[in-house]
């Protein structure tokens, strides 16, 4: 991923230096367990502990000849260790090290993603409480429906991010797995208890069964979870983008002092960060598709997944955390215009309360279908002739036979539609 969308802490997690460090961590833990079982002399293990290291530049140099990065790595380590290097990588195959180490890197990345989700939820909760009763027009199909509150919109997002957090925790557990079962998963050279102990010390679970690789349904689930979270962020960004449209202008993403919106039009304040999030979410959905393609490997393994994962795993985790942190800043600094929200509610001249009138008429004994026809007749006059809804109702002979003027006028009351808001917030927040 380009630097623009790579947080510094994720650049560190997915750096070559950290990748080789986690490889060495797997190798050393294996050596320690084998030493405790008497397979490696204690003196040799002391030397390994003291001298085990690698050189990134030397690994690259060796790989130009070997065309195999793990062999280049073990060769570099051997140059630091001397004769005791014969115990490094004993009984292991390349994927034992690579897949187990990748589990460590994914666990590191997941912890930061979960922390970013927590921070976004904290901000969503605060802004939802702040705007619990900030009235705005609810829209269905992009058309005015009934009155809602901006706080309720944010509460919906807050609860969605709760589910996303749960998904991310599960997905992290799914990929925080290691394996040391050898070339085809039969433990031909190391026993299952060695694998179990090494993984335990690394903070990973041992795969119950594997081939030469961990099965890639795990990684497909992980990338699918990332794509779902990204799609949620896309939804929030898309909503803010609509609310920032000039004709709506109910909320705006933060616009910093000195920020420029257009090279040609000095008046512009564009929702560029939200648009960025919407764009990046498309990448995440694409990575999920690639991860699903990686599930079908030949026999006990092939490496058709490897090249793709070198791109999609660092990119997806980095981009998602970038998006989460960006959305947190957007929500925290979101500019809300309550007065514009009230003006927009008034645009349809009272039509938002037609549902309440329908209920009032049925309570008086009018058949629902008949009441609906009366109200729709009045509503069409409001749409087509720009009339006031209540005044139109007061002129309708069918409706006025059933409801008094006072009862008709009392329909325009947002408190009726919002009387359960506190109960909703009590359930969610």
At the top level of CATH, the class of 1-90 is mainly alpha
Q: Cite the active site residues.
A: 141, 262
Confidence grade of residue 308 (pLDDT, cut at 50, 70, 90): very high
- pLDDT score recorded for residue 1: 76
pLDDT in tens, 164-223: 999 999 999 999 999 999 999 999 999 999 999 999 999 999 999 999 899 999 999 999
DSSP one-letter code for 134: -
In this structure, which topology does domain 351-411 adopt according to CATH? Ribonucleotide Reductase Protein R1; domain 1 (1.10.40)
Please write the tens of the pLDDT for every residue from 53-80.
Answer: 999 999 999 999 999 999 999 999 999 9
Alpha helices (H) along 37-191: 42-51, 56-66, 69-81, 94-130, 150-175
Query: For 93-342, CATH number?
Result: 1.20.200.10
Return residue ranges of the chain for CATH 1.10.275.10: 1-90
Q: CA nearest 104: which of 205, 35, 192, 193?
A: 205
Region for residue 210 given its phi and psi (left: phi exceeds 0; alpha: psi -120 to 50; beta: otherwise): beta
By CB atoms closer than 10 A (0-12, 13-18, 19+), residue 367 is: exposed
DSSP conformation letters of 299-337 = TT--SHHHHHHHHHHHHHHHHHHHHHHHHHHHHHH-EE-
* Distances, alpha carbon 236 to alpha carbons 70, 239, 338, in Å: 43, 5, 19
For CA atoms 227, 232, 234, 235, the dihedral sign is positive
Give the integer Cα–Cα distance in Å for 362 and 260. Answer: 55
Domain with CATH 1.20.200.10 in the chain: 93-342
> Could you tell me the pTM of the whole model?
0.94
Confirm if 234 and 173 have CB atoms less than 8 A apart: no
80, 20 contact by CB (below 8 A): no
pLDDT in tens, 73-89: 999 999 999 999 999 99
pLDDT digits over 146-163, tens only?
999 999 999 999 999 999
Write the DSSP symbol of residue 131: T
């Amino acid at each position: 991923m380009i630097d623009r969308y790579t947080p510094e802490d994720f650049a560190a997690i997915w750096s070559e230096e950290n990748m080789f460090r986690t490889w060495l961590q797997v190798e050393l833990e294996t050596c320690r367990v084998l030493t405790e079982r008497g397979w490696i002399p204690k003196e040799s293990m002391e030397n390994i502990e003291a001298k085990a290291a690698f050189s990134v530049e030397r690994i690259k140099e060796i790989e130009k000849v070997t065309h195999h990065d793990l062999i280049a790595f073990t060769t570099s380590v051997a140059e630091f260790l001397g004769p005791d290097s014969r115990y490094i990588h004993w009984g292991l195959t390349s994927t034992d090290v690579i897949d187990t180490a990748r589990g460590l890197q994914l666990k590191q990345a997941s912890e930061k993603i979960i922390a970013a989700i927590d921070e976004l939820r904290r901000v969503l909760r605060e802004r939802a409480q702040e705007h619990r009763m900030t009235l705005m027009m609810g829209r269905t199909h992009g058309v005015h429906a009934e009155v809602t509150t901006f706080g309720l919109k944010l509460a919906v997002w807050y609860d969605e991010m709760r589910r996303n957090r749960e998904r991310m925790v599960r997905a992290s557990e799914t990929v925080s797995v290691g394996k040391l079962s050898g070339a085809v998963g039969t433990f031909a050279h190391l026993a299952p208890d060695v694998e179990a102990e090494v993984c335990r010390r690394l903070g990973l679970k041992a795969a119950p069964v594997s081939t030469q690789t961990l099965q890639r349904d795990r990684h497909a689930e992980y990338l699918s979870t990332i794509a779902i979270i990204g799609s949620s962020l896309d939804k929030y960004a898309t909503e803010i983008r609509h609310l920032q449209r000039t004709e709506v202008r109910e909320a705006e993403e933060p616009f910093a002092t000195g920020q420029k919106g257009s090279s040609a039009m000095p008046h512009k304040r564009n929702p560029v960060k939200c648009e960025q999030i919407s764009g990046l979410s498309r990448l995440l959905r694409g990575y999920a598709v690639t991860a699903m393609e990686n599930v079908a490997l030949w026999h006990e393994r092939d490496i058709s997944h490897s090249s793709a994962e070198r791109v999609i795993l660092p990119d997806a985790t980095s981009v998602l955390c970038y998006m989460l942190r960006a959305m947190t800043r957007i929500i925290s600094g979101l500019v809300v215009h309550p007065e514009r929200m009230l003006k927009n509610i008034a645009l349809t001249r009272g039509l938002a309360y037609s549902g309440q009138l329908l209920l009032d008429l049925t309570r008086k004994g009018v058949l629902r279908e008949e009441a609906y026809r009366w109200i729709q007749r009045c509503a069409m006059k409001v749409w087509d002739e720009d009339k006031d809804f209540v005044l139109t109702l007061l002129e309708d002979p069918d409706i006025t036979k059933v409801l008094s003027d006072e009862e008709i006028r009392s329909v325009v009351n947002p408190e009726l539609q919002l009387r359960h808001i506190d109960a909703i917030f009590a359930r969610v927040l």
